[in-house]
Amino acid sequence: MARDLAIDLGTANTLVYMKGKGIVLNEPSVIALNRQTGEVLATGREAWQMIGRTPGYIVAVRPLRGGAITDFEITERMIRLLLQRVGVSRFSRPKVVICVPSAITEVERRAVTDAARRAGAADAQLIEQPMAAAIGADLPIDEPVGNMVIDIGGGTTESAVISLGGIVALEAVRVGSFDIDAAIQSYVRREHGIAIGERTAEEVKMAIGSAAPTEDEAQAEVRGRDLMTGLPRTVILTPEEVRFAIDDPVSSIISSVARCLAKSPPELAQDFLNRGMFLVGGGGMLRGLKQRIEKETNVPVRMSNMPLEAVVLGAGHCIEHYDALKGMFMGARR
Amino acid sequence: MIVLVIGIVVVVAVVAALVVLRRIPRHDTGVTRFQRHIDALSPEARRAVIDRGTQHPDGRREQRDN
Ligand SMILES: Nc1ncnc2c1ncn2[C@@H]1O[C@H](COP(=O)(O)OP(=O)(O)OP(=O)(O)O)[C@@H](O)[C@H]1O
Ligand SMILES: [Mg+2]
């Protein structure tokens, strides 16, 4: 008998929480397929290692890239495999709560819940990521105070104000940390004439990327393929030029936070100033981002101590208290 | 005759009572449900799940290198 599950189906990482047990799976949301037969060859970490390194007949993809479900069929197969791996079968029909970007369309929502039901879930409910994040980040959302969460993931940035267990204001954009990787890739191509893969770009971001000047900055050596000669070449990137390269996506992320603040009722402004805004999601770990948001919004920002797990823990809490928290599910409102 | 009158009076009284009862808003179901919702979100209710997140080794594993 499989236990009820909560799933954070992120564009970058997938986490699964099992009722009564905790987080039982945490891996990249990547699937590798045989192009010809359509067979699944690998998922998760194994598939992630293949990105950009596959022979022609294999393709390793992130089906949720861009915060949207770009390929329904692959997404469905991923959900099915995921449920199988945590022990769901035709005979054990658990309830499942799935976190999705709040910007997804009605059609995408249906696709996700249908996929989960076809894969063996007795019931599949959706919950918005920032709502789950607020529960999981341990914010006092049971009180009549404004709690603002900012969730910066791989493909999306979602900010929400939550008070008394409900969403007061919400702002979501399909810009996230992957867009920062892409900006690094195109900068290096344009300014240094070399092509680098998305994983290399991500490494550069983690190693020296920043949204504002920080202490002890270092340079990074980057290896790629020279666009003119086609041969491998190494270039040195400075933190200043990476900051310049990623300024567009970073600014979009910050403007979306500002828009969420602007949508909030004035009564809550005080709460934000006193309590600050809470930053979760892997993208929020970019160096200097916290400081930059603080500077541009004049509101203090606090980092969650579990930025990558907050969402799945929040959804996990909803699975633990399923009946009492039914009202939080998308479509059940309020 | 008297029986008929009493019968009509009883029926009217019952209908009137039902109408009045339906008009009184059922406060407590809404209140109880909301209270249950809010209680389920209290820090005490959430403690168990959050602690599970901090303890579980799987939860923290594959982050930095991805
Ligand atoms: N230290 C770091 N500095 C900068 N970026 C980081 C860091 N650690 C992780 N990231 C980035 O965070 C992203 C993953 O974050 P997260 O797991 O929250 O995304 P997700 O939940 O899968 O995506 P989404 O919420 O958009 O669906 C990746 O793009 C990764 O490169
Ligand atoms: Mg996320």
Number of other residues whose CB lies within 10 A of the CB of residue A85: 14
A145/A265 same-domain check: yes
CA dihedral A73, A79, A83, A86 (to 10 degrees): 130
The encoded tokens of residue B24 equal 């009184």
User: Which one of B47, B50, B55 makes the best mutation probe of the A interface by having the most chain A beta carbons within 10 Å?
Assistant: B50
If we measure between CA atoms, which residue out of A185, A195, A186, A141 comes closest to residue A165?
A141
Structural domains in chain A (count)? 3
Burial of A178 per CB tally in 10 Å (0-12, 13-18, 19+): buried
Looking at this predicted complex, what is its ipTM? Answer: 0.78
> What pLDDT is stored for residue B54 in this prediction?
75
Task: Tell me which chain A residue has its CA closest to the CA of residue B49.
Answer: A317
Q: What percent of chain B has pLDDT over 70?
A: 76
Sheet holding A232-237, edge to edge: A194-195, A220-226, A232-237
A284/A213 same-domain check: no
Phi–psi pair at A96, nearest 5 degrees: -130, 130
Tell me A246's DSSP state.
T
| Exposed e or buried b per residue across B41-52, where buried means at least 16 C-beta atoms within 10 angstroms of its C-beta | beeebbeebbeb
> Which of A232, A247, A262 represents a domain boundary (last residue)?
A247
Place of tokens 């404004």: A146
The verdict on a CB contact (< 8 Å) between B52 and A23 is yes
Determine the angle formed by the axes of helices B43-55 and A129-136, rounding to 10 degrees: 90
* pLDDT at B29 > cutoff 50: yes
Structural domains in chain B (count)? 1
A91/A238 same-domain check: no
Q: pLDDT class for B65, splitting at 50, 70, 90? A: very low
Consecutive sets of 10 residues in chain A, 334 residues long: mean pLDDT of each?
87 94 94 90 92 90 72 84 86 90 84 89 92 93 94 94 93 95 97 95 96 92 96 97 97 97 93 95 96 97 93 95 89 59
Q: Is the CB of A10 under 6 A from ligand 1?
A: yes
Whether A324 maps to a domain, the answer reads yes
Over residues B4-21, the pLDDT tens digits come to: 888 888 888 888 888 777
A32/A160 same-domain check: no
What does pLDDT average to over chain B? Answer: 76
Interface check A320 vs B, CB under 8 A? yes
Residue A82 and residue A146: Cα distance in Å, rounded? 35
User: Which one of A23, A24, A25, A143 makes the best mutation probe of the B interface by having the most chain B beta carbons within 10 Å?
Assistant: A23
Whether B45 maps to a domain, the answer reads yes
Interface check B27 vs A, CB under 8 A? no
Name the residues around ion ligand 2, CB cutoff 5 A: A 10, 153
Number of other residues whose CB lies within 10 A of the CB of residue A333: 9
Q: pLDDT class for B57, splitting at 50, 70, 90? A: low
Number of other residues whose CB lies within 10 A of the CB of residue A24: 17
Interface check B44 vs A, CB under 8 A? no
Q: Which amino acid does the sequence have at A112?
A: V
The encoded tokens of residue A302 equal 């606090």
- CATH number of the domain to which A191 belongs: 3.90.640.10
> What's chain A's Rg over C-alpha atoms?
20
Task: Tell me which chain B residue has its CA closest to the CA of residue A317.
Answer: B49
Number of other residues whose CB lies within 10 A of the CB of residue B34: 13
Q: Could you tell me the distance, in angstroms and rounded to a whole number, from the CA of residue B40 to the centre of ligand 1?
A: 29
Phi–psi pair at A126, nearest 5 degrees: -110, 150
* pLDDT at B38 > cutoff 80: yes
Task: Count CA atoms within 13 Å of residue A282 on its CB side.
Answer: 24
The encoded tokens of residue A22 equal 């905790």
A123/A171 same-domain check: no
Place of tokens 């035709």: A90
Task: Using a cut of 0.80, tell me whether the model's pTM lies above it.
Answer: yes
The verdict on a CB contact (< 8 Å) between B39 and A25 is no
Whether B31 maps to a domain, the answer reads yes
Contact criterion met (CB below 8 Å) for A302 and A278: yes
Residues 6+ apart with CB under 8 A from B17: none
Q: How far is CA B63 from the centre of its chain?
A: 39
* pLDDT at B61 > cutoff 50: no
Q: Which structural domain, as residue segments, surrounds residue A231?
A: 177-247
> What pLDDT is stored for residue A64 in this prediction?
80
Alpha-carbon separation of residue A121 from A14, A83, A132, A157, A164 (angstroms): 17, 8, 20, 29, 30
Whether B22 maps to a domain, the answer reads no
Contact criterion met (CB below 8 Å) for A27 and A12: no
Phi–psi pair at A244, nearest 5 degrees: -65, -45
Contact criterion met (CB below 8 Å) for A62 and A47: no
A31/A154 same-domain check: no
> What pLDDT is stored for residue A105 in this prediction?
85
Whether B34 maps to a domain, the answer reads yes
Interface check A313 vs B, CB under 8 A? yes
- CATH number of the domain to which A112 belongs: 3.30.420.40
